[in-house]
A and B are shown apart, each in its own frame.
Chain A
Amino acid sequence: MGLRRECFATAPHSFGRNRQKKMTIDKTLLEDLQKRRAERSLGGGEERIKKVHAKGAMTARERFAQLFEEGTFQEWGMHVEHACHDFGMEKKVLPGDGVVTGVGQVNGRSVAGFAQDFTIGGGALGQRHAKKICDVMDYAADCGLPFVAINDSGGARIQEGVDALSGYGQVFYRNVALSGLVPQIAVIAGSCAGGAAYSPALMDFLIMTRDNASMFICGPQVIKAATGVETTMEEIGSAAANAGISGNVHFVAENDAHAIELVHELLSYLPANNLDNPPHMPAENINLEPDPVMDTLVPEDPKGMMDMMPVIQRIVDDGKFLEVHQQFATNLIVGFARVDGIVVGVIANQPKVKAGTLDIDASDKGARFIRFCNAFNIPLLTLVDVPGFLPGVQQEQGGIIRHGAKMLFAYCAATVPKITVIVRKAYGGSYLAMCSRDMGADVVFAWPTAEIAVMGADGAANVLYRREIEAAEDKAAKRAELVKEYHDQFASPYMAASRGMITDVIEPSTTRSNVSLALRSTLMKSETRPPKKHGLIPL
């Protein structure tokens, strides 16, 4: 900003009709501009800013100051006024109509965004407020810039009636237009209720601050009035509920500063748009050293409990893994990392939780993540230890068929590099759903501990040897013997490998280097499919 003002003051304005006149800009004009800017930058005034700080929160401008590199933020529409002439609103001044919008630099890349200013009329959305957001969204779409939305608003400005409502509609329309074109990240840093919650819901990643934020469609009072059920904000609208129960939110931040840090971290793995490559930082030399610790991570007993997280951390660079949806459907782990500098999206079963089964929530979580990676050219690394889909009445009635189908659909539809490592169990339909060769995986590695089979030995023995078991004197002993026989013969990677379904069976210690080499060779992968409007993922 400072630079620019200097230019204005000293540039030799020697063009035009008044060439002979000395063209130094009238100082009072500059002073007037500075005064206006200073006034507008104060938002709703010092009193209200103090209140925000007392809550332990930041103002809209402070959030943006943290998000963008110093001096790079170009604000749009600072001088915009609201458009309401009813209910005495015509006498009210709402600087910038309660929202800060513009473009700035994050880590040397341009990023567009808005931050609602709670100090100005509670950050309520009016017609001009919405127009400012739409303008900068259109710019992000045209220029291919990631979009960051910091939500902190009381909702629609009631005085503006249907104009405010229409404003939300126009923002939603652009959220969808931007979807799959540029990454969209929402920060819920304050209240985000009712229809307003659908704009972040249409975006790719939601980050919510733990203490000062709430997000819900109908609050406890409305729920009580409509259904008689008593509930609390903690139960339905808190960060914990949105991240852990409903899965609406992907990250919980301790405070505003942490939320912005998460935005930075997330952006560090994402391309600017769908035509751009993710910010790979390929290491000059691929590390081919074996990692003997990997040989010790699978318990001897195939039924033993295993934690998948150390496997992920030992494959990725410096153990650095940005887990997405950490509190939701924890039987599946998804997140971003790099392997020898190549950005990957990791999808892994977590046998520590629900035995690593795929259930409704895990399928939704996985499918959504896979589709994001595919839209933004991020290779997929899938780590498999899955015993099956979770059995249960709730699962069947809840539609595990159509939800589980999303996983299959997302993997089959993904044309980015797909690399799969089968660590342990890979049974039945869930084996297919974890990016088997048949789902178009480019490379499938299996550890010698892998068990790839149509079903578990117990179930298979019951079906295959029913007569023999019934005919036996000691049914239990015969059954145990046949189960063991089946397990020894079929619960290994070699049945699948003998049929060419596995690229190679590898020592766990060589997983990192094998994955890294496969990522390098698939980096230029291009797969074209016949054009169509869109596939019909079973929603």
Chain B
Amino acid sequence: MKKLKITVEGKAYEVTVERMDDSDGSPASAPLAAPAPAQQAAPVKRADSSPRPPIKAGSITSPMAGVVLSVQVADGDEVEQEQLLLVLEAMKMENQIIAPAPSKVAKVHVKAGESVAEGQVLVELE
């Protein structure tokens, strides 16, 4: 446990910091109550935003730029593993986009005839 003095916009705050056990992400013990002003300073700005787009778990993205030929599922559908979700025409091929695991279709983001870019979210599964 460490006591630190942090200055935000000219105001000094005293905070107590405890190192968390990073193996499971949970703190080694219950977090200590910080003095009231410190809470205002809580949202720490990230020095640099990550270059990766925030891809949610279960998002099926387009492996390459192409045109959606047909969509085989609708919002709310239950799908099995390896079930065909949609067909993407790209690089002289009708590429089958399949479900990686049994899941439920949360939202279909594209429709037949639509052009999509590489990495664009096609379908969200949950």
Contact = CB atoms under 8 A, between A and B. Distances in A.
A27 B48 CA distance: 70
Contact of A301 (B45, B46, B49, B94): B94
B22 interface: yes
Interface in B4-44: 22, 25
B92 A427 contact: yes
A355 B45 CA distance: 41
A355 B95 contact: yes
Nearest to B84: A305
B47 A227 contact: yes
Contacts of B89: 303
A357 B50 contact: no
A387 B91 contact: yes
A301 B95 CA distance: 12
Nearest to B44: A228
Interface residues of A, number: 30
Contact of B48 (A229, A355, A387, A427): A229
Interface in A18-43: none
A304 interface: yes
B22 A354 contact: no
A164 to B, nearest CB: 25
Nearest to B95: A355
B50 A229 contact: yes
A355 B22 contact: no
Contact of A354 (B46, B48, B63, B94): B63
Given A220-B22, A228-B48, A391 B64 contact: yes
A387 B65 contact: no
Contacts, number: 63
Contact of A355 (B25, B46, B50, B93): B93
B90 interface: yes
B91 A394 contact: no
A425 interface: yes
Interface in A388-443: 388, 390-392, 394, 425, 427
Nearest to A456: B92
B22 to A, nearest CB: 7
Most chain B CB neighbours (cut-off 10 Å) among A230, A305, A355 = A355
The size bracket of the interface on B is 20 to 34
B95 A221 contact: no
A353 interface: yes
Contacts of A458: 92
Nearest to B51: A229
B83 to A, nearest CB: 14
A146 interface: no
A351 interface: yes
B48 A227 contact: yes
B47 A228 contact: yes
B70 interface: no
A456 B93 CA distance: 11
B65 A392 contact: yes
Contact of B92 (A232, A352, A387): A387
B96 interface: yes
B94 A303 contact: yes
Contacts of B22: 220-221, 233
Contacts of A391: 64-65, 91
Contacts of A354: 63-64, 91, 95
B11 to A, nearest CB: 22
B94 A390 contact: no
B48 A305 contact: no
Nearest to B49: A229
B115 to A, nearest CB: 13
B65 A303 contact: no
B93 A387 contact: yes
Interface string A317-361: 000000000000000000000000000000000011111110000
Nearest to A385: B93
Nearest to A359: B64
Interface in B37-86: 45-50, 63-65
A394 B118 contact: yes
Contacts of A357: 64, 91
14 contacts: A221-B22, A228-B47, A228-B48, A229-B50, A233-B22, A304-B94, A305-B94, A351-B93, A355-B95, A357-B64, A387-B91, A390-B64, A390-B91, A425-B92
Task: Pick the 3 closest A-B CB pairs, nearest first.
Answer: A228-B47, A355-B91, A355-B93
Interface of B: 22, 25, 45-50, 63-65, 89-96, 118
Interface of A: 220-221, 227-230, 232-233, 301-305, 351-357, 387-388, 390-392, 394, 425, 427, 456, 458
Given A232-B25, A303-B94, 13 more contacts: A227-B47, A229-B48, A233-B22, A301-B94, A305-B93, A305-B95, A305-B96, A354-B91, A354-B95, A355-B95, A356-B91, A391-B91, A456-B92
